[in-house]
Amino acid sequence: MIAVLKPETTKEQQNHLISWLKSHNIDVHVSKGENYTVLGLIGDTSSIDIGLLESLEMVDSVKRVSEPYKQVNRKFHPEDTVVHIGNGLKIGGGNFIMIAGPCSVESREQVTEIAKSVSASGADVLRGGAFKPRTSPYDFQGLKADGIELLLEAKKETGMPIISEIMNVNDLPLFRDVDIFQIGARNMQNFDLLKEVGKTDKPVLIKRGLANTLKELLMSAEYVMSEGNHNVILCERGIRTFETATRNTLDLSAVPMLHEMTHLPVVIDPSHATGISRLVEPMALAAAAAGADGIMVEVHNDPIHALCDGAQSLTPGQFSGMAAKIRKIREVVRQ
């Protein structure tokens, strides 16, 4: 349920109403807009008399939120959420970021060289997998703790915030200085993992599962938010369809649809969505044009010899050309 308060409501009246709601075991999420304040009521609201709430002088309107996702819902929080990543970097609410880097961290030279080049071309965040969720147990599983160390070295050298995938709650201490937790597509519904990252205040980027609906993606974000962490970023990375020409099918309509359903920022990953490096640029440009809040792409300095996902990795030169075009598209989108 949400209650929209009239602009002239005083802080005292608002607090009085919140304490009354809390005495009915309702948790209240306050979203302050330019004119109106929206109270999101979480919990069993069946004991609340809508008519009584509506009749209060300070209340403009009351609506039941029928969707199962509450805190993630745009109705609860009409304004875009801006997630602060660190060093003044923001995503959402008109702030666009580019995340780039290798699929997996392979060596110190590899990750620092890529980090320096993508940073020079305008990437905001360095990506790199240390723990890799591979389909085959015989494939490269990542450098694990050593991979995180190498990412931290690249962060120190370039000043770029870093994002890396966490697969197991036991690895949380290793991620202390990682700026964004990445929840991979295969872990989108690892509810224990979602709850644990929800207990931190670090930004969490959740990738949509290979066969999950947008509603399910939002429910995963709700898990994180319900534990108190509101710094959630959503990522569409392609879904599995009957099409086999591309690795996955990029659901680009997820961008405007999610923007209607939720206030959280939406990132597109055209690398995993297509699996083909020459398709990455056109899809990244389309994502920027569709109003995405960011893109995440794989970049490798030697794609042919990459230990993972070389076929979908851009070279640093290709990334640089694409980044320049994205900046132009962003100018048009902002108008």
Q: Which residues bind ligand PEP (CB under 6 A)?
A: 103, 129, 133, 165, 184-186, 207, 237, 272
Q: Which is nearer to Mn ion, 103 or 297 (CB)?
A: 103
Between 43 and 275, CB nearer to Mn ion: 275
Q: Could you identify the residue written with the tokens 């990437």?
A: 123
| AA identity, residue 216 | E
Distance CA 190, CA 146 (A): 24
For ligand PEP, give the closer residue by CB, 165 or 196. Answer: 165
- Indicate the residue among 80 and 236 with the shorter CB distance to ligand PEP: 236
> Which residue's Cβ lies closest to ligand PEP?
184
DSSP-derived secondary structure for 213-246: -HHHHHHHHHHHHHTT---EEEEE--B--S--SS
Binding partner of residue 7 among Mn ion, ligand PEP, none, CB under 5 to 8 Å per kind? none
Could you give the string, one character per residue 13-42, with x where binding to Mn ion holds by CB under 5 A and - elsewhere? ------------------------------
**Nearest residue to the partner Mn ion, using Cβ:** 103
From the list 48, 128, 309, 314, which residue makes contact with Mn ion (rule: CB under 5 A)? Answer: 309
DSSP string, 70-95: -TTBTTT--SPP-EEEETTEEEBTTB
Q: Which does 133 bind (CB under 5 to 8 A by kind): ligand PEP, Mn ion, none?
A: ligand PEP
**Residue with smaller CB distance to Mn ion, 73 or 248:** 248
The secondary structure of residue 202, as a DSSP letter, is S
For the chain, helix, strand, coil in percent to 5 are 40, 20, 40
Would you state the structure tokens that stand for residue 10, as one six-digit string? 């005083």
299 binds Mn ion (CB under 5 A): no
Question: Distance from CA of residue 50 to its chain's centroid?
Answer: 34
Within 261-290, which residues bind Mn ion (CB under 5 A)? none
Can residue 103 be called a binding residue for Mn ion (CB under 5 A)?
Answer: yes
Structure-block tokens of residue 292: 């995405």
Binding interface with Mn ion (CB under 5 A) = 103, 309
